[in-house]
Structure 1
Amino acid sequence: MLAENIELIETIGLNLFFLIIFFFIGMSIRDVMKNNDVPKKGQFVVYFVLFLGCAGFIAKGIIQIVWESKGIG
């Protein structure tokens, strides 16, 4: 059972790892900006860039699923 689903378990684990890492990055960035009194516009830019990084990983996952379902990858 475990040997048959090892690839699925690895994929889920890696995605959870990225989720946790992005959460901790966001929390550390929030702490630094709060301690240094960063203006709202600057906070928006920083969080937008962090979101784009997350969106890149989400887009990669969607593209990978689509390509694998069509037999390309």
Structure 2
Amino acid sequence: MTPEQYAIAETIGLNLFFLGIFVFIGLAIQDVLKKGDVPKFGRVFVWLVLFLGCAGFVAKGIIQFFWENNGL
């Protein structure tokens, strides 16, 4: 494999790792919310914060992709 292919594989692997981490965090939060009998407002707030964290990570990836392709 060439160094460029290693870099691509590393990037894809790292992104999949972070996706898995977010899924496990979501499953853990869902379990805690069910067992803790949290009110609906609290559940909505927790999921909103989790979604914003994921959205920030995705936005960072998109911005980084465009910057790298434009030579910045």
Shorter-chain TM band: over 0.9
Instruction: Give the whole-Å Cα distance in 2 for the aligned partners of 1:41 and 1:25.
Output: 20
Is 1:62 the counterpart of 2:62? The answer is yes
Deviation at 1:2, TM superposition (A): 5.3
In structure 1, what is the equivalent of residue 25 of structure 2?
Answer: 25
How far does the alpha carbon of each residue in 1:33-67 deviate from its partner, in whole angstroms, 9 at most, with x for none? 10010011111100110011111110010000111
- In structure 1, distance between residues paired with 2:4 and 2:32: 44
Scaled by the length of structure 1, the TM-score of the pair is 0.92
Match of 1:37 in 2: 37
**How far apart, in 2, do the equivalents of 1:27 and 1:10 lie?**
26
How many residues are matched? 72
Uncovered stretches (5+) of structure 2, i.e. residues with no partner: none
Cα RMSD (Å): 1.1
Describe the shift of the 1:69–1:4 C-alpha distance in structure 2 as closer, same or farther (beyond 3 A).
closer
**Residues 69 and 3 of structure 1, relative CA distance in 2, 3 Å threshold:** closer
Q: Which amino acid aligns with 1:47?
A: W
